[in-house]
Structure 1
């Protein structure tokens, strides 16, 4: 396993934590599944991870720190910092995955 893959696994760990801290189950499971594939040296983890990006309803559309009560949107305390961290990790994971994909081509 190369250093970029090791870094990607670390970033995915952090992404899972951030997503779970906001109560997300769908995307946190997705990141966990991609991580598990990479830990098993299964290159399909890269394609699986990258399939989360782009298009409607993708990981790129996710905004953390929101809740609804009686149909009214509320922002959780710290939502700005939470989203900044999430965007940083999301972007880094995509950059690393693309770099790994290019190196395998």
Structure 2
């Protein structure tokens, strides 16, 4: 396993934790599944991860820190920092996955 893959695995761990902290279980499970493939040296983890990006309802569309109580929308405390961290990790994961894919030819 190369250093970029090790870095990506770490980023996926962090990303899953951030997603879980906001109740985004679908996407946290997606990151953990991609991570599991990579941990087993299965290149499919790269393709699987990249399939989360792009299109309607994709990881790119996700905004964390929202709540709706009794039909009233509100932002959770710390939503700005949460989304900044999420966006940075989401971008880093995509960049690493694309770099690994490119290196594989």
Q: Into which bin does the TM-score normalised by the smaller protein fall? A: over 0.9
Q: How many residues align?
A: 105
The one-character-per-residue Cα deviations of 1:20-40 (angstroms, maximum 9, x if unpaired) are 011111000000000000000
Alpha-carbon RMSD across the aligned residues, in angstroms, is: 0.4
Equivalent residue of 2:4, what SS?
Answer: helix
Q: Secondary structure at the match of 1:87?
A: helix
Q: What secondary structure is seen at the aligned counterpart in 1 of 2:67?
A: strand
- TM-score norm. by structure 2 comes to 0.99
| Equivalent position of 2:23 in the other structure | 23
Query: What's the counterpart of residue 61 of structure 1?
Result: 61
1:80-105 alpha-carbon deviations (Å, 9 max, x no partner): 00000000000000000000000001
Structure 1 stretches of 5 or more lacking a match? none
Counterpart of 2:83 in structure 1 is 83
Gap runs ≥5 in structure 2: none
Match of 2:32 in 1: 32
